[in-house]
């Protein structure tokens, strides 16, 4: 799933390519009976409303909130896109071919009717699952299109009045932005310690606690901070927690600098792969030697809170003392060994 760096990379790409252009048409093949009563374009009735609102408007700018792309329009509405698991937004020349090509869908009969006419990254197989198309007019006329490729069809797309979007159910519960000036250590500590007995990896990925952190960047930040993904915040030494705060900012910034992570489906506005996957120290390095200086551990994988966690067997130490507790009401002092991180 695209995380903060991938979403920010996409937002930067949108601002560089389509800002000021007019939307003159919109197409989708999203259609699901499960969304019949929802204000998303997967509901055909809502898509009619969506189309009526966006066609004719100009794209003023794009911004990001948590993992959401916000495309502000000239008519006081904003398009909200959450790319979910496999979505990514691209810009290029496409033609509609009703015969299409097979998408490789499990259904076996789905076709991808939009074909890029440009040689290069846009023809990448990961880029061919076009579900949403905005036809745009620039100074040269109708030329390129802004599209959303989404192999698994999980992405969310809607439109709301700009003045109301931050109070909407899509955004009103998201936590603080980790790359903002307000994201101090004190704020970070207070947010993390709202779940003192939870598992730190699960807490980091909770969008109501901190916005934008997901599976990849939580693994990397915990590796740097020498914290086991199952550790409870109440048991993490303050020095390690301070290091985690710094590491979250560090890995997210690096992710943006490297153009996002393309270990899986993510591609940028031009259909190109990001390069943060080349910087991984923990994520998807199962069985490989830990690269921390002086560490002899290996990277292990374990399911934590329903998600894969990757961590070092040695320097990200964790020992479950729950069986040694006399009762839930008895406070036992943590041993020096448990304090090791």
Q: Determine the average pLDDT of the residues in 231-240.
A: 96
Which 8-state DSSP code applies to residue 298? B
Contact 311, 282 (CB under 8 A): yes
Q: Determine the average pLDDT of the residues in 174-188.
A: 98
Residue of higher predicted confidence among 209 and 324: 209
Q: Check: CATH 3.20.20.60 for 22-57+67-167?
A: no
Domain ranges for the chain, please list them.
Answer: 22-57+67-167, 185-324
DSSP string, 34-81: GGTTSSSTTSHHHHHHHHHHHTT-BEEEEEEETTEEEEEETTSEEEEE
> What is the spatial distance between Cα 251 and Cα 311, in angstroms, rounded to a whole number?
15
Q: Is residue 183 pLDDT above 70, yes or no? A: yes
CA distances (Å), origin 264, targets 177, 273, 295: 24, 9, 28
pLDDT at 89: 98
Q: SS3 breakdown of the chain: % helix, strand, coil, rounded to 5?
A: 30, 25, 45
pLDDT at 112: 83
Which 8-state DSSP code applies to residue 323? G
Q: Is residue 39 pLDDT above 80, yes or no? A: yes
Starting at the edge strand found earlier in the chain, the sheet holding 77-82 runs 59-65, 68-73, 77-82, 156-161
pLDDT at 142: 62
CA distances (Å), origin 177, targets 47, 161, 219, 239, 265: 31, 22, 18, 22, 24
DSSP string, 201-255: HHHHH-TTTSSS--HHHHHHHHHHHT--TT--GGGS-HHHHHHHHHHHHHHHHHH
pLDDT at 330: 30
Residue of higher predicted confidence among 339 and 301: 301
Which 8-state DSSP code applies to residue 155? -
How many other CB atoms are found less than 10 A from the CB of residue 284? 16
Q: Check: CATH 1.10.8.50 for 185-324?
A: yes
pLDDT at 327: 29
Task: Look up the pTM and report it.
Answer: 0.90
Residue of higher predicted confidence among 110 and 36: 36
- pLDDT digit string (tens) for 69-112? 999 999 999 999 999 999 999 999 999 988 766 444 444 446 78
The percent of residues in the chain predicted with pLDDT above 90, rounded, is: 84
Q: Determine the average pLDDT of the residues in 189-209.
A: 97
pLDDT at 97: 86
């Amino acid at each position: 799933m695209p995380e903060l760096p991938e979403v920010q990379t996409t937002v930067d790409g949108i601002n560089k390519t389509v800002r000021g252009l007019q939307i003159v048409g919109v197409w989708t093949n999203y259609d699901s009976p499960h969304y019949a009563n929802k204000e998303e374009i997967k509901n055909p009735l809502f898509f009619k409303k969506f189309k009526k609102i966006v066609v004719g408007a100009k794209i003023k700018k794009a911004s990001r909130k948590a993992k959401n792309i916000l495309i502000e329009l000239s008519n006081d509405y904003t398009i909200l896109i959450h790319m979910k698991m496999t979505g990514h937004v691209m810009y290029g020349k496409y033609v509609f071919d009703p015969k299409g090509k097979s998408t490789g869908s499990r259904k076996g009969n789905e076709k991808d009717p939009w074909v890029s006419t440009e040689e290069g990254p846009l023809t990448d197989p990961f880029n061919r699952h076009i579900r949403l198309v905005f036809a745009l007019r620039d100074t040269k006329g109708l030329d390129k299109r802004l599209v959303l490729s989404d192999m698994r069809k999980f992405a969310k797309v809607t439109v709301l009045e700009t003045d109301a979007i931050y109070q909407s159910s899509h955004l009103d519960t998201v936590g603080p932005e980790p790359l903002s000036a307000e994201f101090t250590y004190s704020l970070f500590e207070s947010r993390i310690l709202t779940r003192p007995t939870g598992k730190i990896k699960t807490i980091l990925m909770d969008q109501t606690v901190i916005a934008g952190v997901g599976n990849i960047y939580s693994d990397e930040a915990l590796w740097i901070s020498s914290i086991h993904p199952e550790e409870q915040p109440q048991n993490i030494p303050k020095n390690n927690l301070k290091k985690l705060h710094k590491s979250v900012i560090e890995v997210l910034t690096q992710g943006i600098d490297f153009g996002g992570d393309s270990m899986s489906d993510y591609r940028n506005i031009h259909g190109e792969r990001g390069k943060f996957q080349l910087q991984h120290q923990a994520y998807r390095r199962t069985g490989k030697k830990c690269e921390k200086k002086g560490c002899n551990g290996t990277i292990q994988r374990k399911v934590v809170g329903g998600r894969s966690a990757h961590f070092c067997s040695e320097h990200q130490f964790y020992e479950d003392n729950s069986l040694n507790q006399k009762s839930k009401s008895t406070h036992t002092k943590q041993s020096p060994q448990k304090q090791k991180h």
